[in-house]
Every structure is written in C-alpha cells, then in structure tokens.
Structure 1
Amino acid sequence: IGAGAMGVAAVWTLIMLAKPVIDGVKESLAALHTPDSEKGKHRMDIDMSIQSIAMVFSVTVVGLLGIFYAFVSPEGLPVSENLTFTFVGVGVAVLMGFFVAAACAYMAGLVGTSSSPISGIGILAIIVASLVMYALCSSFGIFSMPGGEKFATATAIFTTSIIMAIACISNDNMQDLKTGYLVGATPWRQQVALLLGCVVGALVIAPVLNLLYEAYGFPGALPRPDMDPSQALAAPQAALMTTIAQGIFSSTLAWDYIYIGLGLGVVLVVVDQLLKRNTRNLCLPPLAVGMGIYLPPSVQTPLVVGAVLGYFLRKHMKAKYGEEEAKAGFRRGTLFASGLIVGESIVGVVLAGVIVASVTNGGSEAPLAIVGKDFAGTAEYLGLAVFVLALLVFSKIVLGSKKA
C-alpha cells in the first residue's frame, strides 16, 4: 500500500516539475549557441562547458556499461544475451536518470534535499526496471534456468541502484550549487569539485558498506550463519524494493494492495492540493504518508517524538521570546540533531571495524561486551532512560536563553 501511494506521489511530483525541467533543458541548449563574450560577463554565470559535460557523460556511460557487463557475465549466458542485458539496463538507467536528476535537483534547489521525492522515485524505478528485466528474461528463457529468478531480481535491483545513485548525487550537488550561488561562488569551480567528490565518494562508500555488512549484516543477507538476525542493520527501503522485484518475477506480488495504495495516493494528492489552496500552513505530503505506511515503528518513533517535542518547544519560545528567538532555537535544535546523526554514524563505522577485526582474528562478534545476554531486559530500560535524558538535553539546548 505504501509503495502504491508513493508511486502516485512520485509521478505527480514529476508532472508538476515537467515545465521547469523542459525550461532548464531549453536554457542548456540555448547556451550552446551563446557567444563566449556573452557567457563570460560575470564569473558567477560561468558553468562547465557543454563539451566538458558531454565528455564526463560519455566516460560515465562507458564505465556503467563495463560495470553492468561485469555484473551479468558470471552467470554464463551467451555473449549476445550479456550485451543485451547490459545495453538495456544501462539505457533504462540513463533515460530514467535524466528525468530523475532533473526532478530531484529542482526540488533540492527550490526547498532543500529533505523534500526531494527520492523514496517515491525508487519505487517507480524498481517497478520499471523489474518489468523490463521480466520481459528480457522471459524472451531469453532465463526463468527456466536454475537461479533464473534470483538473476532477474539482482539485475533489476542493480539497474535501480544506478538510478538511485543519479537521484542522490543530483540532489546533493544542486543543494551545494544553491549554497554556492547564495555566497557568490563560481559555478564551474564548484562543479569540478563536485565531480571529484563523486569519485572520492565511490572509492570510500563501497568499502564502508562492506565493512558494515561483515560486522552486522543486513536483513536477509548475513555474512555468517551463526549471526543474530535481530542485530542486522535495518534497510526498510531496500527491503521494500527487493520485495517488489521478487513479487513481480515470481508473480506473487499482492497487486490488490498496490491498487489500494494507488487509490490512496490519488486521494492524498487531491487532499494536499485542497489544503494548500484553502489554508495558509496546512498540507498533507503524499510521499510522507506513503513512507509512514511502510517504514517500521522503530524508525518512525523518534520522528514522531521529535515532531511533538519540537511543536511544544517552538510554541513555548514564541510565547515567551517571540518568533525570531523561536527560529533561532529551531536552528540550534537542527544543528544539534545533525551532530547526533553524524556522530552516531561515525561511531557505528568504528565499532564495525572493531567487530570485523575481532572476528577475522578468531575472536568474538561482541568484543566490547561487558554483560551477558541475560542483561537484555535491563538494557531496554536503560536505553529508554538515556533516550529521555537526551530529550531533556535537547530541550535545554533548543530553549537556551534570551541572552544566549
């Protein structure tokens, strides 16, 4: 149901962005015919040349073709079928990626990365990629081979991962370019730096993800048979995409629920538009509702607690100090929350390194444990106490003082 609702929301977002996307493409094409003297009027108007962009695009596509071929070739299919999967998969990723990048980048530039429809786009991407791969696999008789369904699922997810990478990178880059515009940066210098950032990120992210996999595992994919599945790192969006792909290839996807979600998505879009037109501050983002349906309670609970806490803190500050101090408190809270997220992520990676080093040398999977498994019940209450303490610290930082 959540997938259906998010699919409708993503399509609606793309429809709403159609005009600005088309205008952006027209401006880019017009820049090709603009004399250099016109382009060089001010350094803040100088982007990377179209020729440079075309070169980067060509290198990227060639790299994708090589990676995709390396991904499908171990299955032992004929070369012609491997090439077909490669060109079709990369073609789907590039075509969808073009529109996805435009939509995500536009939203990031307009209101920020938090409002970008990446989750909904991921749902659309996995459905499109799965249907395309289903047609290919059926025509080549892949499903009659041992492991054919797994191959089709993996290929669809691999295609979707390329589309998602395009969406995330465009999201992040446009946010950076918007910030650069606000502070007076030179666009082409930023763009070169962002390209270098993509290369460095690609070199860093894969080993870190592999480290996390070796230390904790993911739901349905544990590196060692004796690992506790309950301790695996949650990946609800990835799990949802896998479920959709497997459902399409095995013909077991509950389409009735998808249709319910589609209907719900239409209702949510209509209600959201009515609220925006007839009220000042009320809205009902369809993507947010769709995410709320499928994300597990363990992920949603902190969001709900934070929203309620933020509402009361802001109301208190507005009544006591005024609107400006309430905004300042909101900024302090955002910065503090961002620090908690980044700090937790860094500590998680460090702990993963310690665990993997211990396991590699024949040690325990819990090298830092100071209590046994029978302490689990007490740990739950201690964790709750720490969470409440964190809320109090958070509130104190947000409220601050008028002098501060």
Structure 2
Amino acid sequence: MLSDETKQFVPYVRAEDDYPQITFKAVILGILLSAILAGANAYLGLKVGMTVSASIPAAVISMAVLRLFKESNILENNIVQTAASAGESLAAGVIFTLPALILLRYWSDFPFLDTMAIAMFGGVLGVLFTIPLRRALIIEKKLKFPEGVATGEVLKAGTEGGKGIKYIGLAGIAAALYKLGQTGLKIFSGSVSGSVTTGRSIFGMGTELSVALLGVGYIVGLNIAVLVFAGGLISWLFGIPLYMAFTDPAELSQVVGNMSGYDAALEVWSQKIRYMGVGAMVVGGIWALISLAKPLKDGIVSSWEAVQKARSGNSADIPRTERDMPINYVLWGILGLGIPIFIVFTQVIDMAHLPVSSGLYWTTMSIGAVFSLVAGFLFASVAGYMAGLVGSSNNPISGVTIATILATSLILLALLGTQIDFSVDTERAQAAAAAAIVVGAMVACAAAIAGDNMQDLKAGQLVGATPYKQQIMQIVGVVSAALVIAPILSLLFNAYGLGGVLPREGMSSSEMLSAPQATLMQSVAEGVFARNLEWNMIWIGAVIAVAIIILDKVLEAKDFEFRTPVLAVAVGIYLPLELTVPIFIGGVLAWYVGRKVVNRAKNEGADPEEAKTNAERKGLLFSSGLITGEALIGIVLAIPFAIQESTDALRLVPESFAPYADWLGALAGVFFIIWLYKVAVRK
C-alpha cells in the first residue's frame, strides 16, 4: 500500500493527464544523445576516473530541440533525457573495467561484438534489477536523489520558459575552447604540481586545471566534495609520507627507482597506497548492502502486489504514475539473459586461453554467469541506494566492481588452482584475471545503469511520468550506447593510449588517459592470482572505512546535516590528489554561493530559499555546460590525434613554452571559478 505522504504527492503533470511520451522524435533524439554522451563520458572517465550525470544537459538539449516542433511536452523531454543519460552511465560501467583487459595485454584493442555484448547485457540487467526497487527507494525510503531532483527542476524550468540552454551553451563553448588550448594547442597547462621533501618523506600537492572537475565539485556540493578531498589527504598527507618514512630503504627503492619529488610520491600511491581505497570500498559496499536489506524486501513485495492486482482486474486502481514494468516480465527477463551472458563468457575466455579440463572450464564459465546475476542484483541495489544518497555522478560504481572482481578472483583461484600453478604459469594467470574482469564488467554495467535508472525515475516522479515507459526508454538508451562504445574506446585508445599502455612507439605519455579505475581493477585481479596483492594496505583501508561508518552513525544520531558516507571518502583515497582539488574547490564555491545569496535575500527582505534555489539551478546548468564542453572536445581531438598518431598534432607552441603554459592555465582556471560564481549569484 502507498503511504499517506505518497498519496498526497502531486506531480507536475497529474496522473489523469497522460501526455504523449514515447514519440518518434523523442526516440530518435534519445538514441542520438545516448550515443554522443556515451562517448563524452567515456573520455572523461578514462581521464579522471569519474563520470557525471548527463541527465541535466540531455534535458536542456531535448527542450531546445523539441521546441522546434509544433507539439512537445515535459514528459516527452523527460523520456529523451531518460534514454540519453543511459549512455553516460553505461560508459562508466564499461570504461571502469574493460580497459583492464588492454592493461593485462589480453586484448590488443576493443573487439566490437564482445565489447557491445558485455555492455548491452549488463546494462539491460541494471534496468531490470532496479524495477522492484522504485517503490522502496523513491517512495518509501524517501532518499534525496539530488541529481534526479535537479533534472526534474530543469525540466519544469524549461516548460515555464527557463533560459537554461543559454548557461549550458556559453559554458560548453568556453570549456571546449579551453580544453582545445590545453590538450590540442598546448597553450594552457593541464595541471600543476609540486612537492616538499622532509627526511625520507615526500608531501606531494598538485591540481588538475580542469573546468569539468570544477563543475563536478559544484554539482555534488560541499559535503561530498570535502569527503572526496579528505580521502585524497588520507593518502597524500598521511599515507604516502608515513610509508616512505617507515619502509626499508631498499624496498622503497624498488618502488620509486630513480624518481624523486612528486613523481616518486605518485609512484608510491600507484603501487601501494591506493589499495587502502580497495579495502574501504569493500567495507563500504558491504555496509550499503546491510542498509538496503529492508527496502529491498519491501520493493519486491510491493511489485508482487501490483502484479496480483493486474491479474485480478484491479490494475485501474494503480495510478498511471505508479505503473512499473510487470515483475513477472522482469524475472523472466533476468533469467533469460543468463544464457547469452554465458555465451559471451565462453567467447571472451575460450579454452585456448584457459586450457584446463573440459569439465572445469564449463564449470568455471557457469559459475561466472551465475555470479554475474547474483552479484549484479546485489550491487545494482547498492548503486540505486547510493544514487539516492549522493547522486549518480558521485556514485562509486568502482567500489562495488572492486568487491566483485576481488570475490570472483578468489573463487577462480580456488577453482582453477586445482589444475594450475599460477605462480609459474603467468599466461593462464592472465586469462583467469581476464575472466574476473569480464564478470566485474557485467556487474559494473548493471550497477551503473541501476543508479542512473533510479535517478531518472525520481525526476519522472516529480514531473508526472509513467515509470514503465521510462524503463522501456532506459533499455533503448542502453542498446544505443552499447552499439557505439567499442568504436569510441578504440578511437581513444589509439589516439591517447590507456593506463601506461601505448598502442604504438613514439607516442607521448603526457596526454595518455590514465584510466585509474581500470588500472585498479587490473591490479586487484592480477594481485590475487600472483599472490602479491597489498593485503596490509587493504586491511588498513578497511579499518579506516569502519571508523568513517562509526563517525557517520554518530553524526546521524546527533542529527548533523554534514554526513560521512564511507564510499565518498574511499573514492578520494585511490584518486590522485590533483583530481580531488578542483572537485573540492567546486564544492566550496557551491557552499559560498548559497551562503552569499541567502544573506543577500535576507538583507533585501526576499525569500532566502527561493534565492538559493535559483542560484543552485543556474550553477548546476553552468557546471553541466563546463563538463559537457570539455568532455566533447576530448572526443573531437581524438580524431586528429589518431590520424596523425600523435597528441602533438595541433601543437602551436614549443615545449619550452611549458612554464608560461602553467601560468596561463592557472589564470584561466581562476577565470572560470570567478565566472561560475558570477553566474550563480547574479539576480
């Protein structure tokens, strides 16, 4: 039964007013935007290890395009953003995992059919898994879903004549030009860094001069931005210096070699400290599952009740705005996908790469397929829950993926270890690690889509959409993105290189896409089979996570507004500090803007909440433009880079210009901070 609060909720479009939603023009536009945004976020995620929800820019673009037609409505725009945002989310699941097969040297490029199938089946699973969760998380649990709410507000503003496209357009063009000057023309530096050495310890500090990350920080707000930055400080202010101070000099020399300064600190983080993030992610994922047990049960019960009503002819009692895809269709769909998933595993990990007995091989593939379904459901639930807490942009999909890969690797080690000595048979160890990555990729795609789906359903609830129609369009968006993701990844790999792997000689490593999550996945899988995983660091990270969970419960008991969701801190622990700095600046800026406009409204006798809401909306739109512009130009630049086989294809200045490029880049970064502030506080 629906709660009293739910019955009193009145969406923007009432349940009895069923406007056209899945129209021909909406489907075509949704397909196109899904493909484009998948490419843009694939670039952003491979560069910095984070993606940002595409729902807001997709909603604004949809409003701008559909306004050209004689008839369009808010529900049609919502359907477009539902399909389009699936592209961004699916890209996250793919780029956090499948590049690890390149890093393992198991793949030399991204094969179209294999990449498409993993992305498509995992994404569709994510949609199906979250259908029984809609009532539990959106209605009964009353989670915030910050980006879903923001998307709903943007859609309302567009219907009411808002000028959101202006903010996104200006910010997007400026960010694209800035990125062109950074990566293409080399006029602006992409980052600045430095270090201080005290004894044997190195304290590194740096920042990416990325306006996309500035926008990320502004969107997620001060609380999450502080936590991500705090995670970075745990690694860089404490972890790295303490490790270097207390580690045997000979062992430390094996890690850093001849490196010094910031490069040495970065190497220590890469090989040792970031594994604390693994431990924190595993504990955080388990905690999220425990927290989700009751709403998960409630969601399934509610869904079965809806099916029983439909069978008894009482479905008319269910409002249009509460109708999901029938749960029996969902269950049959999940079970049916088990067969093609099993076939994909046998194609990617064939017996030639994993030469064990026939019985053991087929047992391994079967366990991989079943584990994908079980872990996919559990972690899709976690992802949906986390999207409600912190939004899908900051949803740490990599955390649940790490837990999946770690568990899968340990299972495969126990199974295959009966016939393979992984300590000497490195080729089979590589294949076993690849098998764990494929399972992780399937789960990651499901979890990424689950978080996005819940966010879109929240936006749909606010505007009065029909849930099952959104769920259909989410699947359309998944299929569209899956069809283009392999060529995009191949283009990026051949243009920039990934995570230390360059496709040909003579390429510059300075512009290489770091693929931080995929690198971490590779290290975890390889470390299990090589029996050299940094378990001490993992346990330290787990202890830190427990402490953060305890702190969060204390803050909750004292009714503090500031909270400490553990997975947000874990993200910062394993990201390079320079990536967390602009996120932190963006979060602080969002807080300062809110404080500024509220005080001004009070002094002028205006409504403080209305002033804050208007400022948040303008800042969100402008930040979304910064993210979209930088990400899209990264895709465009990949084309000349791939053709010329060099990231210097468009260079205008010599390498000796680098000191000036640092200053110009820093000044441009400050300009964007001031501009974002001015836009947000403007009356």
Q: Is 2:340 aligned against 1:63?
A: yes
Q: 1:10 aligns with which of 266, 285, 295?
A: 285
Q: Quote the residue 1:83 is aligned against.
A: 362
Please identify, of 222-231 and 53-62, the stretch whose mean Cα deviation from structure 2 is larger: 53-62
How far the C-alpha of 1:162 sits from its partner, in A, is: 0.8
Structure 2 CA distance for partners of 1:79 and 1:373, relative to 1, 3 Å:
farther
Q: How does 1:184-333 map to 2 (within 5 A)?
A: 184-321=464-601, 322-333=608-619
Quote the Cα distance in structure 1 between the aligned partners of 2:534 and 2:479. 40
How far the C-alpha of 1:55 sits from its partner, in A, is: 4.5
Q: Is 2:166 aligned against 1:166?
A: no
How far the C-alpha of 1:376 sits from its partner, in A, is: 2.2
TM-score normalised per structure 1: 0.91
Please identify, of 69-78 and 327-336, the stretch whose mean Cα deviation from structure 2 is larger: 69-78
In structure 1, runs of 5+ residues without a counterpart are none
Q: Please tell me whether the aligned partners of residues 109 and 178 of structure 1 are also in contact (alpha carbons under 8 angstroms).
A: no
Q: Quote the residue 2:349 is aligned against.
A: 72
Q: Quote the residue 1:21 is aligned against.
A: 296
Quote the Cα distance in structure 2 between the aligned partners of 1:8 and 1:110. 17
Quote the Cα distance in structure 1 between the aligned partners of 2:388 and 2:589. 28
Q: How does 1:105-116 map to 2 (within 5 A)?
A: 105-109=384-388, 112-114=391-393, 116=395
- The Cα offsets for residues 262-319 of structure 1, whole Å up to 9 and x where unpaired, read as 1111111011110121143122221122222211022111111112222322222221
TM-score normalised per structure 2: 0.55
Per the alignment, in what secondary structure is the counterpart of residue 418 of structure 2? helix
Q: Please tell me whether the aligned partners of residues 215 and 352 of structure 1 are also in contact (alpha carbons under 8 angstroms).
A: yes
Letter in 2 for 1:37: G
Please identify, of 321-330 and 147-156, the stretch whose mean Cα deviation from structure 2 is larger: 321-330
Q: Please tell me whether the aligned partners of residues 40 and 46 of structure 1 are also in contact (alpha carbons under 8 angstroms).
A: no
Q: How does 1:311-390 map to 2 (within 5 A)?
A: 311-321=591-601, 322-359=608-645, 364-390=646-672
How far the C-alpha of 1:213 sits from its partner, in A, is: 0.9
- The Cα offsets for residues 133-176 of structure 1, whole Å up to 9 and x where unpaired, read as 21222123162535122112211111111111010011111212
Q: Please tell me whether the aligned partners of residues 39 and 45 of structure 1 are also in contact (alpha carbons under 8 angstroms).
A: no
Structure 2 CA distance for partners of 1:45 and 1:291, relative to 1, 3 Å:
closer
Count of aligned positions: 397
Structure 2 CA distance for partners of 1:273 and 1:96, relative to 1, 3 Å:
same
How far the C-alpha of 1:248 sits from its partner, in A, is: 1.4
Per the alignment, in what secondary structure is the counterpart of residue 17 of structure 1? helix
Q: Is 2:385 aligned against 1:94?
A: no
Structure 2 CA distance for partners of 1:292 and 1:115, relative to 1, 3 Å:
closer
Quote the Cα distance in structure 2 between the aligned partners of 1:355 and 1:84. 44
Q: Please tell me whether the aligned partners of residues 511 and 647 of structure 2 are also in contact (alpha carbons under 8 angstroms).
A: no
Q: Please tell me whether the aligned partners of residues 153 and 245 of structure 1 are also in contact (alpha carbons under 8 angstroms).
A: yes
Letter in 1 for 2:333: V
In structure 2, runs of 5+ residues without a counterpart are 1-275, 602-607
Q: How does 1:32-51 map to 2 (within 5 A)?
A: 32-34=307-309, 35-41=311-317, 42-51=319-328
Q: Is 2:671 aligned against 1:394?
A: no
Which structure exhibits the higher relative contact order, with contacts defined as CA atoms closer than 8 Å and separated by 6 or more residues? 2
Letter in 1 for 2:320: R
Q: Quote the residue 2:401 is aligned against.
A: 122
Letter in 2 for 1:20: P
Q: Quote the residue 2:414 is aligned against.
A: 135
Quote the Cα distance in structure 1 between the aligned partners of 2:394 and 2:575. 17
Q: 2:383 aligns with which of 104, 128, 148?
A: 104
Letter in 2 for 1:24: G
How far the C-alpha of 1:123 sits from its partner, in A, is: 2.4
- The Cα offsets for residues 315-352 of structure 1, whole Å up to 9 and x where unpaired, read as 22221123431232122112111111111111111111
Q: Quote the residue 2:431 is aligned against.
A: 151
How far the C-alpha of 1:36 sits from its partner, in A, is: 4.7
How far the C-alpha of 1:215 sits from its partner, in A, is: 0.7
Letter in 1 for 2:629: G
Letter in 2 for 1:338: S
Identity %: 36
Q: Please tell me whether the aligned partners of residues 318 and 325 of structure 1 are also in contact (alpha carbons under 8 angstroms).
A: yes
Per the alignment, in what secondary structure is the counterpart of residue 500 of structure 2? coil
Q: 1:180 aligns with which of 460, 464, 469?
A: 460
Letter in 1 for 2:372: A
More helix by share: 1
Q: Please tell me whether the aligned partners of residues 212 and 349 of structure 1 are also in contact (alpha carbons under 8 angstroms).
A: yes
How far the C-alpha of 1:28 sits from its partner, in A, is: 2.8
